[in-house]
Amino acid sequence: MSAVAATTGTSGATACGKTSGELRHVAIIMDGNGRWAKKRFLPRIAGHRKGIEAVRAVSRGAREQGIDVLTLYAFSSENWRRPAEEISDLMGLLRHFIQTDIDELDESNVRLRVIGDHNAFAPDLVALIDAAVERTSTNSGSTLVIGLNYGSQDEIVRAARKLAGRDPATIDAAALEAELDTGDLPPVDLLIRTSGEQRLSNFMLWQAAYAELLFVDTLWPDFGKAALAEAVATYNLRERRFGGL
């Protein structure tokens, strides 16, 4: 059962009488790890570690709510500008997450997907990511998508290059969408950004064209199942017209 059907009934009608589309795909810009640590006079890595706990909680919460696809922006193509020590810490946390959580994801019938060019990472990490993706590739439950070295503009450029040799008359929105990293996934219904920032930061610009946007003040390490449920409840109160009346 979808998250909307589970909370509003099969018609999707909300408490205020509006009708919202089925909630299949939630995408989150996970922001605020560094500020969470700074508020506690801790090193930034402490915030990133706590952020991994939030990833686990939100991933479990999404499954419990029947959300088909959860996409998390973990490492952007612009994050290479950060200090080398912090990048190393992030790569170490990514290794640890895959090694410790892949069993739970697999046993929960979750399919792990990666968008972006993760081949830019160290060879051993690339192999670890590829093995995890392959191990869960036939799972038929929900899908957890992780954005790694991901930038939406780069993704669109790569898709355009794939279409460059085709007859222009055959190229439409559906053709380009099929070449995106998310070509086989539903469009984003709800896009959440934590920490109070209100920008998309080059994240899923195409896929979120008609998404409901939700900016919350909660720092990512403090975002969990309850916060996700609240976000879904907010979504259920929205009226989606997709350009119509």
Token pair, residue 140, equals 């038929």
Distance, in Å, from the CA atom of 149 to the CA atom of 202, rounded to the nearest integer, reads 11
**Fold classification of 3-10+19-150+186-202+210-236 (topology level):** Undecaprenyl pyrophosphate synthetase (3.40.1180)
pLDDT tens for each residue of 171-202: 999 999 999 999 999 999 999 999 999 999 99
Per-residue pLDDT, 21: 63
Per-residue pLDDT, 245: 67
77: closest CA among 118, 45, 48, 114?
118
What confidence tier does 239 reach under pLDDT thresholds 50, 70, 90?
confident
Q: Is 17 annotated as a binding residue?
A: no
Place of tokens 């934590």: 194
**Contact status, residue 184 vs residue 207, Cβ threshold 8 Å:** no
Q: Is 31 annotated as a binding residue?
A: yes
What percentage of the chain exceeds 90 in pLDDT?
88
Burial of residue 128 (CB within 10 Å: 0-12, 13-18, 19+) is: middle
- List 76's β-bridge partners, or say none: 150
Q: Is 139 annotated as a binding residue?
A: no
CA 224 to chain centre: 14
Active site residues: 31, 79
Per-residue pLDDT, 15: 36
pLDDT tens for each residue of 152-170: 999 999 999 999 999 999 9
Q: Is 77 annotated as a binding residue?
A: yes
Contacts of 212 (CB under 8 A, 6+ apart): 189, 190, 191, 235, 238, 240
What is the number of helices (H) and of strands (E) in the chain? Answer: 8, 6
pLDDT tens for each residue of 101-149: 999 999 999 999 999 999 999 999 999 999 999 999 999 999 999 999 9
Distance, in Å, from the CA atom of 75 to the CA atom of 150, rounded to the nearest integer, reads 7
Residue ranges per domain, the chain?
Answer: 3-10+19-150+186-202+210-236
Q: Kindly report the pTM of this predicted structure.
A: 0.89
Per-residue pLDDT, 19: 42
**Contact status, residue 126 vs residue 94, Cβ threshold 8 Å:** no
